[in-house]
Amino acid sequence: MRELPPFLEHLNKAGHLVETIVVNDGASQTDELNRFCSDRNFVLIHHERNRGKGAAVRSGMLAASKDIRMFTDADIPFQYESAENMLRLFEADEVDMVTGDRRQSDYFVNTSWIRQLGTRVFSAVVNIIMSQRMGDTQCGMKGFRARCIEIVFKQSSLNGFAADIEWIHRARKRGLMVRTVPAEFRNAGKSSVVLWKHALPMLLDAIKIRFS
């Protein structure tokens, strides 16, 4: 969480008025987190049990009040400029959803070859299942305009890591404008996705999305 205040200060200096919502997805040791958020006037949402990435992002997005709503991990794994580029795209165009794409940057140069291979294979299989190019679905930085929250989040059903696939699919299916920006690597924070553990459940969820 210590990476969050410098990031927000950067955005504020760039002229962005930021509303910050932190979602605790089932962690039991909350005293320090409560103090951290209270001292900075952050909105803090607690899930009593771990419900998954999809549920955590959904809670934050539905609680937000701004027109442009963006999520990322608390360790801010991407360059600040990547977030600024996302915000500029919203401001310059009538875009509904913007997804970060690590493949358009040097992100994978800084990761192990086995993770690079696994990510690319996973993306290729998802494209086949969904019968369309889905992009870098698992990039942990995405933005949404408020008008598409109803379509993308209120009607979503997946709580796990495949929720990203569902959000992109729902947006495109309803004809929303989806754009991408390069997601430049900033730090080597540990990913919560373990490919050998999570890939199969995510692919099964993708099949459910495709044929539901």
pLDDT tens, 104-149? 887 777 777 787 788 888 899 999 999 999 999 999 999 999 999 9
CA torsion 9→168→146→22, rounded to 10°? -40
> Is the Cα dihedral 91, 94, 100, 106 positive or negative?
negative
pLDDT at 2: 87
Judged against a pLDDT cut of 80, whether residue 188 lies above it is answered with no
Report, in angstroms and rounded to the nearest whole number, the Rg of the chain calculated over CA atoms. 17
All domains of the chain in start order, with CATH: 4-211 (3.90.550.10)
Euclidean distance between CA atoms 131 and 124, whole angstroms: 10
Judged against a pLDDT cut of 90, whether residue 152 lies above it is answered with yes
pLDDT at 196: 63
Question: How many other CB atoms are found less than 10 A from the CB of residue 200?
Answer: 10
- In sequence order, the 6+-apart residues with CB closer than 8 A to the CB of 99 are 135, 136, 137, 139, 141, 142, 143, 168, 178, 179, 180, 181
pLDDT at 155: 84
- In sequence order, the 6+-apart residues with CB closer than 8 A to the CB of 119 are 108, 138, 195
Question: How many other CB atoms are found less than 10 A from the CB of residue 196?
Answer: 8
Judged against a pLDDT cut of 80, whether residue 61 lies above it is answered with yes
Q: What does the buried/exposed string (b/e) look like for 107-118 if buried means 16 or more CB atoms within 10 Å of the residue's CB? A: bbeeeeeeebeb
H/E stretch holding 72: strand 68-72
